[in-house]
């Protein structure tokens, strides 16, 4: 059961897609949202640089001015988040922290069932939309908060691309092997989407072994026992990174991945695969952790 959802809000338009998805998920589970903003106090201090002798007062004034501007922006973000939640009829709270953004988000995420965050993150001071002032273009200057959170979060992380909104019915791809990370992805997906109208495709890349059908059959049975009626199983040949190209993933609204792997057998679930999908930024990801 999902009771509490942490929604990470930054200055970018990715926040709109993040909030829309979080509201959809909250209504589905009758859950509460917390909108979180983080003041990158460390980044603001770094932006001032080395302070010459006798210039400390000026440096402090500059830091204070930047922090005041950041606070005003965050207040606007929280007001907008609150208004969107009220319109959607979703219970919500707002919270502000300061420090290194990824660290603060990770601390707060320990008290939530899942995290919803933009596929690109702009929490850190100095990130932004670039010269064209439009997010989602080549000159964006994003931060690395998502990658850090993905690697360390105990809660599943839902990464939302720009402009994406959930549909009443969606098609999900879950790629499987026998690793703990694969099974965790399967279980967390079932918990997050139980009762939703979801068409699920289970995919396994075979290396010539004979036990993949058992894996797929048992995974199908697990999902059907949790209310998923439309579950297809596929076996593909080849390296999973080559199989899961843009053309293969095009029909799916969601890709489900495990975040970590520690040896060649579970190479499929290493952070590098997640980062490859994040780099594409064209598909929502459910990144299983814990």
What is the secondary structure of 196-254 as a DSSP string? Answer: SEEEEEEEEEESS-S-HHHHHHHHHHHHHHTT--EEEEEEEES-HHHHSSHHHHTT-SE
d(CA 94, CA 110): 16
Checking if the pLDDT of 2 tops 90, the result is no
Burial per residue of 203-223, b for 16 or more beta-carbon CB atoms within 10 angstroms, e otherwise: bbbeeeeeebeebbeebbebb
Q: How confident is the model over 73-83, as a mean pLDDT?
A: 96
Average of per-residue pLDDT values in the chain? 85
Out of 80-84, 195-199, 274-278, 286-290, the most confident range is 80-84
Give the model confidence (pLDDT) of 106-157 as tens digits.
Answer: 999 999 999 999 999 999 988 999 999 999 998 999 998 998 898 788 899 9
Q: Just give the CATH number of 169-284.
A: 3.40.50.620
Q: Where are the domains of the chain?
A: 4-160, 169-284
Instruction: Give residue 179's pLDDT.
Output: 79
pLDDT reading at 53 higher than 90: no
Query: Is 161's pLDDT higher than 70?
Result: yes
- Cα dihedral sign, 87-88-90-92: negative
The yes-or-no verdict on residue 77 having pLDDT over 60 is: yes
Backbone conformation region of residue 89, classed left if phi is above 0, alpha if psi is from -120 to 50, else beta: left
Q: Average pLDDT of 251-280?
A: 66
Question: Residues 52-62: what's their mean pLDDT?
Answer: 57
pLDDT given for residue 8 in this prediction: 97
Give the number of other Cβ atoms within 10 Å of residue 47's Cβ.
13
Query: What is the CB neighbour count within 10 angstroms for residue 24?
Result: 18
In this predicted model, which residue has the larger pLDDT, 232 or 207? 232
Band the pLDDT of 270: cuts 50, 70, 90. very low
pLDDT digits (tens, 9 = 90+) for 171-213: 999 988 777 888 889 999 998 888 788 999 999 887 655 567 8
The pLDDT score that the predictor gives to residue 234 is 92
Q: Which residues contact 132 (CB under 8 A, 6 or more apart)?
A: 139
Provide the whole-model pTM: 0.86
Tell whether the torsion through CA atoms of 212, 216, 221 and 222 is positive or negative: positive
Average pLDDT, stretch 43-48?
A: 71
Residue 264: pLDDT above 70? no
What CATH number belongs to 4-160?
3.40.50.620
Contact call for residues 175 and 266 (beta carbons, < 8 A): no
Compute the average pLDDT of residues 226-232. 94
Distance of CA 88 to the CA centre of its chain: 21
């Amino acid at each position: 059961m999902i009771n509490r959802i942490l929604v990470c809000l930054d200055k970018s338009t990715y926040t709109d897609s993040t909030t829309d998805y979080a509201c959809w998920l909250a209504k589905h589970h009758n859950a509460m949202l917390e909108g979180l903003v983080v003041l990158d106090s460390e980044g603001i201090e770094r932006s001032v640089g080395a302070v010459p002798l006798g210039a400390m007062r000026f440096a402090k004034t500059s830091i204070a001015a930047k922090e005041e501007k950041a606070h005003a922006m965050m207040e606007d973000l929280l007001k907008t988040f609150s208004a969107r939640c009220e319109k959607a009829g979703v219970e919500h709270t707002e919270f502000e922290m300061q420090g290194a953004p990824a660290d603060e988000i990770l601390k707060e995420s320990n008290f939530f069932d899942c995290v919803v965050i933009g596929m690109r993150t702009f929490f850190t001071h100095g990130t932004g939309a670039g010269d064209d002032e439009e997010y989602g273009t080549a000159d964006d200057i994003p931060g690395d908060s998502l990658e850090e959170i993905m690697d360390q979060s105990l809660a599943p992380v839902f990464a939302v691309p720009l402009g994406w909104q959930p549909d009443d019915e969606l098609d999900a791809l879950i790629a499987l092997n026998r690793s703990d990370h694969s099974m965790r992805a399967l279980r967390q997906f079932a918990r997050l989407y139980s009762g939703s109208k979801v068409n699920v495709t289970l995919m396994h890349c075979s290396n010539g072994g004979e036990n993949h059908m058992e894996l797929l059959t048992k995974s199908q049975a697990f999902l059907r026992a949790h209310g998923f009626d439309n579950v297809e199983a596929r076996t593909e040949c080849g390296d999973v990174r080559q199989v899961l190209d843009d053309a293969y993933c095009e029909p799916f609204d969601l890709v489900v991945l495990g975040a970590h792997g520690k040896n060649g057998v579970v190479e499929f679930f290493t952070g590098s695969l997640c980062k490859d999908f994040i780099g594409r930024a064209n598909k929502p990801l459910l990144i299983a952790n814990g």
